[in-house]
Chains A and B, each alone.
Chain A
Amino acid sequence: MVEIRVLVVDDEPDIRATVAEMLEIEGYSVDEAANGADALRAIERHAPDVILLDMRMPVLDGWGFAAELNARHLEIPIVVMTAARDAARWAAEIAASASLSKPFGLDDLIRTVGEVRGAA
């Protein structure tokens, strides 16, 4: 079985760790990044299959990160995860594949990541 790599980008350490654990228990392999810049470095090391992306972050936010990704012609499916009301709108803005509104449960997370992974 091919290992699926997910990159979790969020400035809240507890969220990062929780989401990572939720993915790992379902067999995903997870990398973590605290902001957009961190995430770009992580991608250079190891390209993920799916990116879970918080939007408002210090240093480099979700929009900036998505633009960088575009500039590098890296086509990795993105799932926007945010506590803001505008999850779907923000997802559309950066042409993400899906969005998750915080708080989300284990099943929502796994299903969404699975769908995005399946479509890619």
Chain B
Amino acid sequence: MTALELLSWINRILFVVLFIAVGWRAIRQPTRSNVNTAILFGGIGLAVLGALISDVAAFDPPWLPGVLIALLNACPWAMLRLVDDFRGSPRWVQLGGTVTFVAIAALSLLLFERFPQLVELVTIAWFLVVGGYAAVAFARASGRSRGLTRWRMAAVAVGAYLFIATIVVVFAAEFLPAIVAIVGPLAQVLALAAVVAFFIGFAPPAWLRRAWREPNLRSFLEHSVHLSGVVDDRELVLELQRAAADTLGATGASLGLADAEGVTMRYIGVDGTFGSYPAYAFIGGRAFSTQKRLIVTDAAASDPENAAAYISWNARAVIAVPVTAEDRRLGVLIAYGDRAPIFVEDDLWLVQLLADQTAVILEARRMAREASELRAREETTLLKEEFLSAAAHDLRTPLTVLLGQAELLERRLQRDPSSAIDPAGIVRIAREARRLRDLVSDLLEAQRLEDVGPSVDREPADIRELVRASMDRYGYDGAQFKPALPDEPILVRMDPVRLEQILDNLLENAIKYASSAAPTEVRAWEENGEARIAVIDHGMGIPSTERALVFERFVRASNAQARSDTGLGLGLYICRRIIEGHGGRIWADETPGGGSTFNVSLPTEVLPQPVDDSPAGDIPLSPAAGASPDG
């Protein structure tokens, strides 16, 4: 046996084996595309089988070649039908294809014996036209598809080009007898390659589908680990939909998120925003309500009520799988394709895998969210505890004096009812009682600011007058403060009681923490439409890392804490809240040469403060999503 003969035998056997494989598949799953694939391979397979029998059995009646050519003519016809299955084609193309097939088959059966060359020419032209049409159609389909489907369409396109090449080689041999010697093997190799490519594209074996999907599936799984950290629902859903569609090679995928009660389902519509629908609506809703996986090959026919929506989504074939964690119904994952054959049987399994993975991501996210809510609650509790403990601590100092002085008075009166009252003791009682009152109102003020924010009650006030009044209250002697105030009044729209509270706080701090060696400078001026106040001390200063923190609740600079037992860490917090409530700012700097500078800026003009947070005139657009075909 020559090498050429061996090749020829291998070729024939392969044709027959592939025909049997494809035929068996069409019998098991008689879908239109499976049947058409079987016809494509059957045309070739039967022709090869016929020629084989005639060779071996020396059975060579004159009508046999005509029958074999008629059988081969079924191949282009089946290919046209497959283009329609996978990509869609105009009706006249299908009709024309069928008419041409019948005509050429009749021609070869009736006229081959008399006009063999005419029949051969017509057949070759028919093969070339259909082969070219299919090659271009499948190449374009490949460009438009994703994942697995992209590879399948590419394989078919390659098969169609090889098919054309085979025909061209055979055709050339008719007119160039010089190349006949090499035509046989070349044509056989080309034909075999074409058939293998068709097989891979139209009926890929499971292992090949898995191999093609592997990169997308791997990227989905790797990516999904990070998806639970995506905070935005919309972003998460879009990511999952994209990943699922890529992995499946589907036209698109849609993830519906059910509410906690399972009454409504949210989908992202064509406008990119969430729309709410009844949980049972659409094919996805059907899968969700029944908790069953669904494959639908003609969505519009299966759910006529929403036919327009499916058409607008380009969704003909739909796979819907419920997304469920344990007994929690989270939603539904839907993959759709413009053509039914892009899905194969084990896609259902794959969508299930993706749905399970999606459930894991959603659950991880829910748990992370719950954990952070719990943490926030714990922090609030801790803050309240700290508040109580700090409050209790600071109330104890004046209470010690009050209790001690009161018991002293009591003891003295017990011993001698006519004893004179100790004036120094009374002064202390009064002073510490006032201090207690201030502490209590600070605490209540801080709590109120936390609960409702500062009250904004504005009257015009001259900052200079308020600074002078505050200095009078805290400056026990003239040397303690050094004011620098302009001649012109600085008017701000602000409750003077509030502004006084701020100035008192700042000056009190300066006395508490500043050195007595250099007086604290108090400046006020106007700059760029802002009233500015600066309290510049030359004391111990605030460590640079803590400068922004001292305006927080219960925070005291570490060096202040070491220096004095008393102080709630509320004064600067109250200042900041009030100032910010009036559209201003407060911040601390280092005084050159050491010490702290507290800066305040307040708007001098009346600012339209947003009291009402609801956006005026911002009417939300109608939530109508992709339910209308004109969208």
Residue of A15, A25, A82, A84 near B401 (CB, 8 A) is A15
Q: Is A83 touching B397 in the complex (CB atoms < 8 A)?
A: yes
Known: A18-B404, A21-B408. Is A54-B565 also a contact (CB below 8 A)? Answer: yes
Q: Is B564 touching A11 in the complex (CB atoms < 8 A)?
A: yes
Task: Report which residue of B394, B401, B425 has the largest number of chain A beta carbons within 10 angstroms of its beta carbon.
Answer: B401
* Chain B residues whose C-beta falls within 8 Å of the C-beta of A15 in the assembled complex: 397, 400-401, 404
Interface string of A1-25 (1 = CB under 8 A from B): 0000000000110110111011001
Interface string of A78-103 (1 = CB under 8 A from B): 00001111000000000000000111
Q: Is A102 touching B400 in the complex (CB atoms < 8 A)?
A: yes
Q: Is A14 touching B432 in the complex (CB atoms < 8 A)?
A: yes
C-alpha spacing A21/B424, complex, angstroms: 11
B539 CB, nearest partner CB in chain A, Å: 11
Interface string of B379-417 (1 = CB under 8 A from A): 000000000010001101101111111011001100000
Known: A17-B424, A54-B565. Is A83-B408 also a contact (CB below 8 A)? Answer: no
Q: Is B404 touching A11 in the complex (CB atoms < 8 A)?
A: no
Tell yes or no: A74 within 8 A of B by CB.
no
B57 CB, nearest partner CB in chain A, Å: 108
* Chain B residues whose C-beta falls within 8 Å of the C-beta of A22 in the assembled complex: 404, 407-408
C-alpha spacing A56/B558, complex, angstroms: 12
Q: Is B408 touching A61 in the complex (CB atoms < 8 A)?
A: no
Main secondary structure of the interface of A (DSSP, over half): loop
Tell yes or no: B616 within 8 A of A by CB.
no
Residue of A84, A85, A103 near B400 (CB, 8 A) is A103
Q: Is A58 touching B397 in the complex (CB atoms < 8 A)?
A: no
Q: Is B397 touching A61 in the complex (CB atoms < 8 A)?
A: no
A33 CB, nearest partner CB in chain B, Å: 15
Task: Report which residue of A18, A22, A61 has the largest number of chain B beta carbons within 10 angstroms of its beta carbon.
Answer: A18
Task: Report which residue of B399, B400, B405, B566 has the largest number of chain A beta carbons within 10 angstroms of its beta carbon.
Answer: B400
Interface string of B262-276 (1 = CB under 8 A from A): 000000000000000
Tell yes or no: B562 within 8 A of A by CB.
yes
* Chain B residues whose C-beta falls within 8 Å of the C-beta of A17 in the assembled complex: 424, 428
Known: A18-B428, A83-B393, A105-B404. Is A56-B564 also a contact (CB below 8 A)? Answer: yes
Q: Is A103 touching B561 in the complex (CB atoms < 8 A)?
A: no
C-alpha spacing A19/B561, complex, angstroms: 23
The residue of chain B having its C-beta at the shortest distance from the C-beta of A83 within the complex is B396
Interface string of B417-434 (1 = CB under 8 A from A): 000001011001001100
The residue of chain A having its C-beta at the shortest distance from the C-beta of B559 within the complex is A58
Number of chain B interface residues as a range:
20 to 34
Main secondary structure of the interface of B (DSSP, over half): helix
* Chain B residues whose C-beta falls within 8 Å of the C-beta of A11 in the assembled complex: 564-565
Q: Is B404 touching A106 in the complex (CB atoms < 8 A)?
A: yes
C-alpha spacing A104/B403, complex, angstroms: 7
* Chain B residues whose C-beta falls within 8 Å of the C-beta of A101 in the assembled complex: 396
Q: Is A102 touching B397 in the complex (CB atoms < 8 A)?
A: yes
Task: Report which residue of B401, B403, B422, B565 has the largest number of chain A beta carbons within 10 angstroms of its beta carbon.
Answer: B565
C-alpha spacing A54/B411, complex, angstroms: 25
* Chain B residues whose C-beta falls within 8 Å of the C-beta of A102 in the assembled complex: 396-397, 399-400
C-alpha spacing A61/B424, complex, angstroms: 28
Tell yes or no: B563 within 8 A of A by CB.
yes
Q: Is B408 touching A25 in the complex (CB atoms < 8 A)?
A: yes
C-alpha spacing A83/B565, complex, angstroms: 8
C-alpha spacing A84/B389, complex, angstroms: 9
In chain B, positions 431-487 with a C-beta closer than 8 Å to chain A are 431-432
* Chain B residues whose C-beta falls within 8 Å of the C-beta of A12 in the assembled complex: 397, 401, 565-566
Q: Is A14 touching B431 in the complex (CB atoms < 8 A)?
A: yes
Q: Is B428 touching A61 in the complex (CB atoms < 8 A)?
A: no
C-alpha spacing A105/B407, complex, angstroms: 7
Tell yes or no: A50 within 8 A of B by CB.
no
Q: Is B407 touching A85 in the complex (CB atoms < 8 A)?
A: no
B402 CB, nearest partner CB in chain A, Å: 7
* Chain A residues whose C-beta falls within 8 Å of the C-beta of B399 in the assembled complex: 102-103
Task: Report which residue of B393, B403, B431 has the largest number of chain A beta carbons within 10 angstroms of its beta carbon.
Answer: B403
C-alpha spacing A85/B393, complex, angstroms: 8
* Chain A residues whose C-beta falls within 8 Å of the C-beta of B394 in the assembled complex: 83
The residue of chain A having its C-beta at the shortest distance from the C-beta of B427 within the complex is A14
In chain A, positions 11-53 with a C-beta closer than 8 Å to chain B are 11-12, 14-15, 17-19, 21-22, 25
C-alpha spacing A66/B404, complex, angstroms: 26
* Chain B residues whose C-beta falls within 8 Å of the C-beta of A113 in the assembled complex: none
* Chain B residues whose C-beta falls within 8 Å of the C-beta of A61 in the assembled complex: 562
In chain B, positions 493-544 with a C-beta closer than 8 Å to chain A are none
The residue of chain B having its C-beta at the shortest distance from the C-beta of A85 within the complex is B389
C-alpha spacing A85/B396, complex, angstroms: 11
C-alpha spacing A61/B561, complex, angstroms: 11
Residue of A19, A56, A103 near B565 (CB, 8 A) is A56
The residue of chain A having its C-beta at the shortest distance from the C-beta of B435 within the complex is A14
The residue of chain B having its C-beta at the shortest distance from the C-beta of A22 within the complex is B404
B556 CB, nearest partner CB in chain A, Å: 11
Q: Is B408 touching A103 in the complex (CB atoms < 8 A)?
A: no
B567 CB, nearest partner CB in chain A, Å: 10
C-alpha spacing A102/B394, complex, angstroms: 10
B434 CB, nearest partner CB in chain A, Å: 11
A92 CB, nearest partner CB in chain B, Å: 19
C-alpha spacing A58/B400, complex, angstroms: 20
Can you list 18 contacts pairing A with B, beta carbon distance less than 8 Å? Answer: A11-B564, A11-B565, A14-B431, A17-B424, A19-B404, A21-B422, A25-B411, A56-B562, A57-B564, A58-B562, A58-B564, A83-B393, A83-B400, A85-B393, A102-B397, A103-B400, A105-B403, A105-B407
Known: A18-B400, A25-B408, A103-B404. 16 other contacts (CB 8 A): A12-B565, A14-B428, A14-B432, A15-B397, A17-B428, A18-B425, A21-B405, A22-B407, A22-B408, A56-B561, A56-B565, A58-B562, A83-B396, A103-B396, A104-B404, A106-B404
B residues apposed to A, CB below 8 Å: 389, 393-394, 396-397, 399-405, 407-408, 411-412, 422, 424-425, 428, 431-432, 561-566
Name the 5 nearest CB pairs between A and B, nearest first. A83-B396, A103-B400, A56-B565, A18-B404, A103-B399
